[in-house]
Structure 1
Amino acid sequence: MPLLAQRPRARFHPLTVSQVRPLTDAAIEVTLAVPDELAEDYNYVSGQYVALRTELEGKEVRRSYSICAAPTSGEIKIAIKRDLGGLFSNWANDNLKPGDVLDVMSPTGAFVSQHAVTSLNDPQAIGEESVGLSRYMAFAAGSGITPILSITRAVLASNPQAYMNLVYSNRAAMDVMFVEDIADLKDRYPSRLAVHHLLSREQRLSPTHTGRLDAEKLRSMLGTVFRPEVVDEWFLCGPFELVQLLRDELSAAGVSADKVRYELFTTGKPTAAPEGNIGRPVVADAAGGNIEITFNLDGLEGQVLSPKSARESILNAALRVRQDVPFACAGGVCGTCRAKVISGEVAMDENYALEPDEVAAGYVLTCQSHPKGDAVHVDFDS
């Protein structure tokens, strides 16, 4: 993916909220204005995300949100759904308004089509492989629709021979985000977009569209609602358990893993956000039981000693000496903290963001990586 590979490291810039649109009783769409001088920084591909940063209750808070609109000059659109107990999501739904300013990281992420990549630089660009008939299949649950909606808009607009089948799962009709936008897309592309709304807590006329999106439901759709053997590319977005189930079932149905793109909103596992030098202090072991961590960032080399007893991640250690080290989710999901291992060895606990070829090339998620020896050198600029 040349467009993604050539992108410089993501950085935060202050952006002003220009519009807040209610989507449901528990979700909003937020439009952020991008000034002309930052246009290149916020050029993006459908399916990518941005990280937001602000201060709440005296602490820095970072959250990642997928861009829900096809590439549009001068703005970024995201959707924020309330999470039970979620500090940022509830604050945003209750308080965010036009004129507010948020720190927004430039777009990143690899949840994009391998067949039809479009960008602000060339909104009508079509990858060589996308010329001709292309069939896509997408599964989304809840707020997982946000990147799926952007991808759907892009592939249908960029290729007149592209067809999209979308399965969207929610608890009830009132929970369906972007319901009018999806209906408008269906009206615009009546013969090229098929939409299947599944509701788990409401009875629908069709048994296929009633109930949870589980293994049994998926198997009932295979060969009836869609034929997996003719699908060129699959997109899965939602909570960890659902995405993993879909991947397993597709694999069992003979779908090649290289045709499946997926993104997780949560891993289902609690994670502690990096604290840098906040909270319990970590200091080098005076007796010499330390790991020497060297890292390149913005052309500068940094070093930090991490006591072996602390079992710090590379990210946490680096944050103790440079607060601008990139990260967003800290759960191995977003890939913002990606770096290449130059020397030494690391053990990576979780990885839901890097492709196998990236791992083979030496890339790691620093939020999940721990040095295995006495020294390690990583490059965030690579």
Structure 2
Amino acid sequence: MSQFHHLTVEAIERQTADAVAITFSLPPGAAEIWRFTPGQHLTLRARVDGEDLRRCYSISSAPEDNRLQIGVRAVPGGRFSQHLHRHLHPGDTLDVMPPQGQFGYRPRPGHQGDYLALAAGSGITPLLAIISSTLQQEPDSRFTLVYANRHTQSAMFRQTLADLKDRFLQRLQLFWLFSQESSDSPLLSGHIDAGYLAQLHALIGLNHFQQAFICGPTAMMDNAQSALRQAGIAAQNIHREQFDAGHQHPLPIRTSRDQRCDVEILHDGRRQKIALQPQDRSILDAALRQGIDLPFACKGGVCATCKCRLKSGDVTMEVNYSLEQDQLNAGYILSCQAWPKGDGVVLDFDV
């Protein structure tokens, strides 16, 4: 699952002035490799100005759509997203990893549920897949979506959401929320924050939702998660997808470490030993410096592409935004955030 595959770009559809939807053609007989749970993401790789760059983008299509599509917003100063917007065309090929990620929901035919989704900006991308798949697979379930943007023209997948609303008129409730457009209703202007969710709770009662899904800027998700907890939704039923590492600073250089430290890596059936030096910021960086092509994308503890299992020894992790407690208990770590406490560390990337 950590290997890249060459996929051809089938279509590029303009969503907003700075966002597109990219659809990939899948080779014959490869359906199993690209099977995904709604909410998962793809890791893309490209050479930009001679540098190997990798980024994660959520899948916007539902499995039932029989296509593989992602949403990409051009981030100011974002080298990878700007490269895709300026240089990618239908017929081009990209290096893509099979779907990954723990965020999402696997619909259960025959199940009846009432779900809530809170999205801001490009955070709609994974939630669109979850909503569409759930409404198709669970004919007795309902979804309420609050989608926040600056204004109408900056909202991604407007037509797709309108089509979903027409198709599931009685089972999809949609609140369009704009911060730079005025409205007579306080529920249609502003931001997704504690005050807004308090108003929404008074109107529809947030505590009746069995599951809630959140995706957007870190501050928005923190505020929303806190408000949903206060409204009575259990913590284990609130799911969030982290796109970035918030305001975390880069990992420090380990200048205080004078002695060489060895780590053993199991990857693609091979056993290799690497030596960590003070200039290395993590086990992942040390391995890449020594020519081992380990899987990674964000290097910020967010996407879990670099996940591996600690077979022996002990490590510390700077941050962790992606691994759940049961995964930590099972020995999984993020190599992009890990540093060994001493010799004897063995990491398995093949699990």
Q: TM-score, normalised by structure 1?
A: 0.86
3-state DSSP of counterpart to 2:80: helix
**Structure 1 equivalent of residue 221 of structure 2:** 243
- Which of 189, 194, 198 lines up with 2:177 in the alignment? 198
**Structure 1 equivalent of residue 196 of structure 2:** 217
**Structure 1 equivalent of residue 210 of structure 2:** 232
**Structure 1 equivalent of residue 24 of structure 2:** 32
Could you tell me which amino acid in structure 1 is paired with residue 173 of structure 2?
A
1:72 deviation in Å? 5.3
Map of 1:37-186 to 2, 5 A cutoff? Answer: 37-71=29-63, 75-113=67-105, 116=107, 126=108, 131-186=110-165
1:10 touches 1:107 (CA, 8 Å); kept in 2?
no
Moved more, 134-143 or 357-366: 357-366
1:152 touches 1:164 (CA, 8 Å); kept in 2?
yes
- State whether structure 2 residue 260 is matched by structure 1 residue 290: yes
3-state DSSP of counterpart to 1:324: coil
**Structure 1 equivalent of residue 341 of structure 2:** 372
Could you tell me which amino acid in structure 2 is paired with residue 151 of structure 1?
I
1:73 deviation in Å? 7.6
2:64 touches 2:133 (CA, 8 Å); kept in 1?
no
Q: Distance in 1 between matches of 2:148 and 2:56?
A: 21
The alignment of Structure 1 onto Structure 2 pairs a total of residues equal to 348
What are structure 1's unaligned runs of at least 5 residues? 1-8, 117-125, 274-279
Q: Distance in 2 between matches of 1:84 and 1:23?
A: 17
1:54 touches 1:60 (CA, 8 Å); kept in 2?
yes
Q: Distance in 1 between matches of 2:244 and 2:111?
A: 36
Q: What is the percentage of aligned positions where both structures have the same residue?
A: 38
Could you tell me which amino acid in structure 2 is paired with residue 341 of structure 1?
L
1:271 touches 1:331 (CA, 8 Å); kept in 2?
no
Q: Distance in 1 between matches of 2:67 and 2:166?
A: 25
2:207 touches 2:231 (CA, 8 Å); kept in 1?
no
**Structure 1 equivalent of residue 315 of structure 2:** 346
**Structure 2 equivalent of residue 263 of structure 1:** 241
2:280 touches 2:286 (CA, 8 Å); kept in 1?
no
CA RMSD of aligned residues (A): 2.0
Q: Deviations over 1:138-177 (max 9, x none)?
A: 0011000000000001000001111100010000111010
Could you tell me which amino acid in structure 1 is paired with residue 342 of structure 2?
G
Could you tell me which amino acid in structure 2 is paired with residue 18 of structure 1?
E
Q: TM-score, normalised by structure 2?
A: 0.94
2:175 touches 2:187 (CA, 8 Å); kept in 1?
no
**Structure 2 equivalent of residue 310 of structure 1:** 279
Q: Distance in 2 between matches of 1:174 and 1:184?
A: 17
Q: Distance in 2 between matches of 1:247 and 1:366?
A: 28
Q: Distance in 2 between matches of 1:216 and 1:232?
A: 22
